[in-house]
Amino acid sequence: MFPVTFRVNRRARNYLLYVRRSAELSMTIPRHGSMKDAAEFLRKKGPWIERTWRRMESRLQAVKPCEFGTEVWCRGAKVVIRSEPDGDRMRVLLGTEFCGVARVDEDLRGIVECRLRQIADVELPLCVNILGAIHKSPVRRVTVRDQKSRWGSCSRRGTISLNWRLAHVPDEVRNYVIVHELMHFREMNHSPRFWAHVREACPDFEQHERWLKEHGRTML
């Protein structure tokens, strides 16, 4: 059996299962759920879990490790991971951003990702609040998540969720993603009316869409 992380979500109505990018299993248990029912849900999902798990492991094995000298996107620029001596270890620097300390031969992906997530946690909510005020869009809550296939999403309750990988992208591309979600408060769909709102708020949105498609797969 694969190791699974369980969490209870009082708002969840069903059992939900995710295989994260790190090939870790995460399961959401609804408020009135039980570990017994969760175990039965996992048993039924066994074949799907195994297929998905193997696919994710293959992807992880194909990913090149991050090491000193590797280039990583940060705020729209490719920045080299640099090192500075720190006793018997090395300081990890992403441009001017201090990420932590590591051994010379260590895979730096986790350390660099952690710093990028910290940047996202601070900068993304601030940008949402500023752009929300400019476009007079009611934002009640902002969350920064590890979304598998989306740069952002929104809910009718006024919550905007953004992918932490937006810390990789240029400011204008990040702002487009946020504006895209803000416009969903006007049209909760992708109808022509919705895209008309997007074009009015961000005339260059097609250029930003192309940037994401071209470079999205090169992010951590």
Residue-wise pLDDT for 32-46, tens only, equals: 889 989 889 888 888
pLDDT at 61 over 60: no
- Is 135 in the same domain as 187? yes
Residue-wise pLDDT for 115-158, tens only, equals: 999 999 999 999 999 999 999 988 999 999 988 778 999 998 89
- Is 28 in the same domain as 76? no
**Number of domains present in the structure of the chain:** 3
pLDDT at 105 over 60: yes
Distance, in Å, from the CA atom of 31 to the CA atom of 36, rounded to the nearest integer, reads 14
- Is 172 in the same domain as 205? yes
Share of the chain above pLDDT 70, in %: 93
- Is 209 in the same domain as 146? yes
Q: For residue 6, give Cα distances in angstroms to 1, 45, 61, 65, 140.
A: 14, 15, 25, 29, 27
Full domain range(s) for residue 8: 4-62
- Is 173 in the same domain as 82? no
- Is 158 in the same domain as 109? no
- Quickly state the pLDDT bin for 60 (edges 50, 70, 90): low
Residue-wise pLDDT for 185-202, tens only, equals: 999 999 999 999 999 999
- pTM of the entire predicted model: 0.71
